[in-house]
A and B are shown apart, each in its own frame.
Chain A
Amino acid sequence: GAVVSQHPSWVICKSGTSVKIECRSLDFQATTMFWYRQFPKQSLMLMATSNEGSKATYEQGVEKDKFLINHASLTLSTLTVTSAHPEDSSFYICSARTGLPSYEQYFGPGTRLTVT
């Protein structure tokens, strides 16, 4: 099956700094990528939908200026958590979707962010 990678797999940063997480589709082109956040023992919450070459669409309640998404190519989307705070500590998971006709969605392994 298709592979989606994330980098880094975990990161620890100080409060106030910014962190960039990369999501790559390794063997297919993804016009659409999704970013999810998962708090401990909770479900995945969709943060934003990222389309190649256009602005991301953010879900209600997600600050677009805090969570910057760039989908510069058909195989790479990045999520930058700006001015991170301890409450941003979470598991961030990306997924990439193939195009027509199947629109299958593949998930990355996740990135554990800890803000101290």
Chain B
Amino acid sequence: SQQGEEDPQALSIQEGENATMNCSYKTSINNLQWYRQNSGRGLVHLILIRSNEREKHSGRLRVTLDTSKKSSSLLITASRAADTASYFCATDDTGANSKLTFGKGITLSVRP
């Protein structure tokens, strides 16, 4: 079953602009992760934010987490054409039997 719901479902921006993608989820989580997938390829792990964290940075990526609203955002600054891909949020519930549940994904197109 799907847990995360990203919005927008598709985003088209100009190179150099910032891209903001949002994810909402329904249940309590241990952590939330963002992944990138280029067309027809495997997943690339971008960043993980734990439930007790509110913001995390990695290079041009900034992730926020609001557990009270059950939402997260991924900001890509100074976007590049190479950032064109699908982006997924995935939530990890708690415990040794936890499993990642993926959202529907956002298709980002960065125009050169």
Q: Which residues of A does B touch, CB under 8 Å?
A: 1, 34, 36, 42-46, 49, 59-60, 91, 93, 95, 103, 105-110, 112
Q: Specify which chain A residues have a CB less than 8 angstroms from the CB of B18 in the assembled complex.
A: none
Instruction: Write out, one digit per residue, whether chain B residues 67-78 have a CB within 8 A of any chain A CB (1) or not (0).
Output: 000000000000
Give the nearest-CB partner of B31 in chain A. Answer: A103
Residues of B whose CB lies within 8 Å of any CB of A are: 1-2, 35, 40-43, 45, 88, 92, 96-105
CA distance A1 to B41 in the complex (A): 18
User: How far does the alpha carbon of A110 sit from the alpha carbon of B102 in the complex, in Å?
Assistant: 16
The answer for the CA separation of A93 and B43 in the assembled complex, in Å, is: 9
Majority SS of interface residues in chain A?
Answer: strand
Contact of A46 with B99 in the complex, beta carbons under 8 Å: yes
Is B45 touching A107 in the complex (CB atoms < 8 A)? yes
Query: Which residues of chain A have C-beta atoms less than 8 A from B92's C-beta?
Result: 103, 105
A43 contacts B43, C-beta separation under 8 Å: no
Q: What residues on B are CB-neighbors of A46 within 8 Å?
A: 99-102
- Within 8 Å by CB of A44, from B41, B97, B102, lies B102
Name the residue among B35, B41, B43 with the largest chain A CB count within 10 angstroms.
B43
Cα A71 to Cα B77 in complex, Å, equals: 41
Please tell me if the beta carbons of A43 and B102 are within 8 angstroms of each other in the complex. Answer: yes
What residue of chain B has the Cβ atom nearest to residue A108's Cβ?
Answer: B42
Task: With both chains docked as a complex, state the minimum distance between the C-beta of A1 and any C-beta of chain B, in angstroms.
Answer: 8
Q: Which residue of A45, A106, A110 contacts B41 across the interface (Cβ within 8 Å)?
A: A110
Is A49 a contact of B40 with CB atoms below 8 Å? Answer: no
Q: For B98, what are the chain A residues with a Cβ–Cβ distance below 8 Å? A: 103
